[in-house]
């Protein structure tokens, strides 16, 4: 178990939760008709993907769950912002299929998993 990586991962997760809560509070102040459609989803996706990019940068295993949700949220928000709202179910299926195809590649490189099991 790599304690240093686990502590850093907890700090990164706390920062991501902080950003999420600040964004959530900000959206509560602004009326819905003033916020562009899809912006909430884009923000969530950026936060989740940034968390995993930071994990990757510091040599910590990324979370497959938050990476998947981040990609789904970002793409769904982008589609929603251009007015396409009926493709989110199809997008989910496409991403699930892509995940199954690339999972052996991710597993071979040990990119996803628990932060405590990260290499130095």
What global pTM score does this model have? 0.76
CA proximity to 72, closest of 55, 48, 50, 102: 48
Digit-by-digit pLDDT tens for the chain (120 residues) are: 578 888 999 999 999 999 999 998 888 888 888 888 889 889 999 999 999 999 999 999 898 888 988 998 898 889 888 888 776 677 777 877 887 888 888 778 777 776 656 554
């Amino acid at each position: 178990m790599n304690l240093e990586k686990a502590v850093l991962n907890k700090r990164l997760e706390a920062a991501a939760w902080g950003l999420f809560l600040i964004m959530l509070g900000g959206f509560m102040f602004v009326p819905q008709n003033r916020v562009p459609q899809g912006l909430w989803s884009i923000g969530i996706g950026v936060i989740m993907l940034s968390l995993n990019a930071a994990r990757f940068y510091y040599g910590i295993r990324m979370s497959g769950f938050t990476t998947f949700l981040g990609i789904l949220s970002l793409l769904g928000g982008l589609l929603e912002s251009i007015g396409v709202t009926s493709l989110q179910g199809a997008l989910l299926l496409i991403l699930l299929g892509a995940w199954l195809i690339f999972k052996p590649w991710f597993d071979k490189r040990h990119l996803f998993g628990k932060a405590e099991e990260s290499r130095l």
